[in-house]
Each structure stands twice: as C-alpha cells, then as structure tokens.
Amino acid sequence: MEEDENMFENLEEVLLHYDEVINELSEPDVLNNQEKYRSLMKEQTDLEPVVEKYKEYKEVKAGIEDSLLILEEEKDEDMRELAKEELSDCRNRIEQIEHDLRILMLPKDPNDDKNVIVEIRGGAGGDEAALFAANLFRMYSRYAERNNWKIDMINSNENGIGGFKEVVFMIDGDGAYSKLKYESGVHRVQRIPVTESGGRIHTSTATVAIMPEAEEVDVNIDMNDCKFDVFRASGNGGQCVNTTDSAVRLTHIPTGIVISCQDEKSQLKNKDKALKVLRSRLYELECAKVHDAEAEARRSQVGTGDRSEKIRTYNFPQSRVTDHRIKLTSHRLDEIMDGELNEVIQSLTAADQAAKLSKLNEDR
C-alpha cells in the first residue's frame, strides 16, 4: 500500500536522523554547550521509541525472509517444520509491530511535553460539590506524586468544612499535559454526602480544566491590558500571608478574565503566578479557536478541553467509575481516587490514537 511505503520511507529518515543526533551528542563543542546538549538529549528521547520499534520491525521482517528462503531450499523436514513455526510467529508479530509504528508516527501534540495548570471548581451541589472538588484535587496530587511531578499551588478558595469552591495549581513534570489533557470537563459524583442526615444519595459535580503552561513565546501579553489589585489574603495562610496585602487580583481587560492568586507571601510572586495562569488561559482560548476551525478533526478525537462536557461519573455506593466518552467502567473507585489513574488515562490515550488512525485512513 502506498501509505505504508510512505511510512517506511519516513521511518528510514527518522533512523538516519537519530544516528545523526547520537553522533552529534558525542562532539566536544556540543558537550560544552549545555543548552544544545539538552535539546539533542530531548530529541533522542523523543525519537528512541520509534527507532527501537522500527529496528524490531526490521529484525522480524528479516526473520520472515529467512524462513521463506529455508522453506524454498531446505529438504530436511525437521528444518522445514522449524522454519514454518518461525514464519508463523514472525507474521503474527509483524501485524502488531506495524500497528504500533502507525501509532508512533501519528503527529504529536505540540503541547504534550508542557507542564499543566489545573483549575478545579465545585459545581452543582453546594458544600458536597466543594468536598468533591477537594477529592479531585487529592486524586490529581497523588497521581502527580506517583509520577514524581511537582505541585505548585496558585490559588484556593475553601468552604470551611474541608472543601474547595475553587483550587488552582500547577503540575510540573515531563509529559504532564500528554497524560492529563483528557481530564478537562465535568466530573460527577453520586454518594451520600457527609452533610446529609437522611442517608440519601445525592448527585453533585465539579469542573476540571487542564491547560498547558504557555511560555512567553506562545502568548504575548500587553501589560497595558492588565489591571492589578492587591488585597489581604484569606484562609489558612502562613504568618505573613494574612497580615499583608500580598494577594493579587489580575483583570485582563480585553477578555474580562479575572485571576486571583494569594498562595505566596510575596506580592511579586503572586503577580508572576497570576500572569502564568492568564497566559495559559489565553493560550487555551487560541487553541480552542484552532480546534473549532478544524471541526472534523475535533470530532475524531477524545474530548480534551470542553469544560461543559460531562466526562466521568464516580459512583461511591457501587464503587464504580465510568468514563462516558469511551464507555469505560472500573470498579476500582478507591484506588482511582487515591491517584491510580493509569488504567483510565491509558484507555483514553488508546481510544484517541485509534480515532486519529481511523480519521487518517479516511482522509487517504
């Protein structure tokens, strides 16, 4: 098939480029240039899975050719039987390897390697929704710990009984966006609230927004469009947090976006964090415009950003978690709420990749 020929031509180019990167990494002038060295190391890391899989493909392909040659020339029946077994094994493996290569060669999301800014807000359900928002915050915090990622709080608004009306934080770690980008949307909980005396099951919601951290090169902010107000922080702050005007409220006049940040004792640090959030929100808006312009491509993917989309239900009485986009149901609710999200995230990633492959095949 023509598309397969094109893919293997591209894979040969990837292999050549990978060798060039390896050779360049050993050059003295590169070793003395830390920025260049880090850039090449990242490129090597990105290319390595493709290269290793392609080398495996070539080995198995060679095994098929060797087996066919033995069957063509060999008269000994024992040797022929061994060749038949090897041929069958290699043909079974080659299909899976080709599928894996198609996945690896899909265009990469340019935001996948970025850190993320996470916003969780209690939705319908009052205090119970705020408590559920706190549960989600803990879930993502535990998942970050399991991946050795760093969490940096930006802002929080507590409800007085351990819940969050709103909590905003950054997760700093390799590939954070690639793993968490499918978490944006409405999360629904069904359980008996601690505030409910009658023992009835209630349904509440919380909204999660996952935004890639935007660099200054991604979004240019005109400071004339920004209005800063300072105020005294509230809540459980440090010794200086609640006694000085360290909290910052940033209003972006053209869009009306308002961001509050009070986690740091320093007004300057809070201002910097607020600008980070603003930059990421503006970047998200720009990405949404691009997605809307590519409506067909958008429909071919698992949802990765619509805050109004109900994506998941957490049913506590049945210890069940259901992701509505891919019809995934798991009865490991306790483990998932403790940050064991790999099963869910891997299933979402696989579904997204399958949809993109299908779309790619339709376009050909």
Separation of alpha carbons 212 and 177, rounded Å? 6
pLDDT range class, residue 254, cuts 50, 70, 90:
very high
Question: Is residue 168 over pLDDT 80?
Answer: yes
The domain segmentation of the chain, as residue ranges, is 2-104, 116-355
Q: What is the CATH code for 2-104?
A: 1.20.58
CA angle 311, 314, 320 (to 5 degrees): 115
Contact 177, 287 (CB under 8 A): no
Contact 104, 50 (CB under 8 A): yes
| Amino acid (1-letter code) at residue 287 | C
Highest mean pLDDT among 5-9, 308-312, 332-336: 332-336
Cβ-based neighbours of 316, under 8 Å, separated by 6 or more: 189, 190, 191, 192, 333
DSSP 50: H
- Residue 362: the pLDDT is 67
Higher pLDDT, 142 or 241: 142
Compute the half-sphere exposure of residue 269: CA atoms within 13 Å on the CB side of its CA. 11
DSSP 111: T
Report the DSSP beta bridge partners of residue 231.
247
Higher pLDDT, 151 or 245: 151
Q: Which two tokens stand for residue 303?
A: 């949802």
Radius of gyration of the chain (CA): 26
Contact 213, 154 (CB under 8 A): no
Tell me, yes or no, if the two domains 2-104 and 116-355 fold the same way: no
CA 18 distance to own-chain centroid: 26
Q: What is the CATH code for 116-355?
A: 3.30.70.1660
Separation of alpha carbons 37 and 32, rounded Å? 8
Parallel, antiparallel or unpaired: strands 185-191 and 310-315: parallel
Q: Which two tokens stand for residue 159?
A: 């409800």
- Residue 274: the pLDDT is 92
Q: Which of 151, 146, 155 is nearest to 115 (CA)?
A: 151
Separation of alpha carbons 283 and 254, rounded Å? 14
Highest mean pLDDT among 56-60, 160-164, 195-199, 235-239: 56-60
Q: List, for residues 171-222, the tens digit of each pLDDT value.
A: 999 889 999 999 999 999 999 887 676 678 899 999 999 999 988 778 889 9
Q: Which two tokens stand for residue 238?
A: 């440090």
Question: Is residue 3 over pLDDT 60?
Answer: no
